[in-house]
Amino acid sequence: MLEMLNEIPVACTTVEEVGSTGVGALTISFLIFIVSCIVFLSKANTSGEQRKYYYLSSYACGFAAMAYFAMLSGQGWTVIAGCRQFFYSHFAERLITSTLILILMGNLAGAGPDLMFGACGSNAIYMIATYMGSVSVVTTVKWFWFFIGLVGLFATLVHLALSFKNAVDVKGGERAQLYSKGAWLLILAWMCYPIVWLFSEGFASFSVSFEVCAYAVLDIISTVVLGFMIMSGHDYLGGSAPSQSREYV
Residue 211: predicted pLDDT: 98
Residue 235: predicted pLDDT: 80
Tell whether 1 is covered by a domain: no
Tell whether 10 is covered by a domain: no
What's the pLDDT tens digit per position in 171-207? 888 999 999 999 999 999 999 999 999 999 999 999 9
What is the average per-residue pLDDT within 86-100?
Answer: 97
pLDDT confidence bin for 28, thresholds 50/70/90: very high
What separation in angstroms does the CA of 140 have from each of 27, 124, 145, 203?
Answer: 36, 22, 9, 13
Residue 9: predicted pLDDT: 54
Tell whether 5 is covered by a domain: no
Q: What is the DSSP string of the chain?
A: -HHHHHHSPPPPSS-B---HHHHHHHHHHHHHHHHHHHHHHHHHTT-STTHHHHHHHHHHHHHHHHHHHHHHTT-S-EEETTTEEE-HHHHHHHHHHHHHHHHHHHHHHT--HHHHHHHHHHHHHHHHHHHHHHH--SHHHHHHHHHHHHHHHHHHHHIIIIIHHHHHHHH-HHHHHHHHHHHHHHHHHHHHHHHHHIIIIIT--S-HHHHHHHHHHHHIIIIIIHHHHHHTTGGGTSSS-HHHHGGG-
- Structural domain boundaries, residue 181: 19-248
Which domain CATH number covers 119?
A: 1.20.1070.10
Query: Percent of the chain beyond pLDDT 90?
Result: 82
Residue 172: predicted pLDDT: 83
Higher pLDDT, 120 or 171: 120
pTM: 0.90
Tell whether 14 is covered by a domain: no
Residue 4: predicted pLDDT: 44
Q: HSE of 218 in the Cβ direction (CA atoms, 13 Å)? A: 22
What's the pLDDT tens digit per position in 125-183? 999 999 999 999 999 999 999 999 999 999 999 999 999 999 999 988 899 999 999 99
Residue 246: predicted pLDDT: 39
Choose the weakest-confidence range: 45-54, 57-66, 86-95: 45-54
Total number of domains in the chain: 1
Tell whether 61 is covered by a domain: yes
Cβ-proximal residues to 162 (8 Å cutoff; 6+ apart), any chain: none
Tell whether 176 is covered by a domain: yes
Tell me: pLDDT of 12 over 60. yes
What is the average per-residue pLDDT within 49-64?
Answer: 94
Are 57 and 105 in contact by the 8 Å Cβ rule? The answer is: no
Residue 48: predicted pLDDT: 80
What is the average per-residue pLDDT within 90-118?
Answer: 96
Residue 59: predicted pLDDT: 97
Tell whether 238 is covered by a domain: yes
Residue 60: predicted pLDDT: 98
Higher pLDDT, 46 or 70: 70
**Taking Cα atoms as reference points, which of 41, 35, 103 lies closest to residue 68?**
35
Tell whether 8 is covered by a domain: no
Are 71 and 24 in contact by the 8 Å Cβ rule? The answer is: no
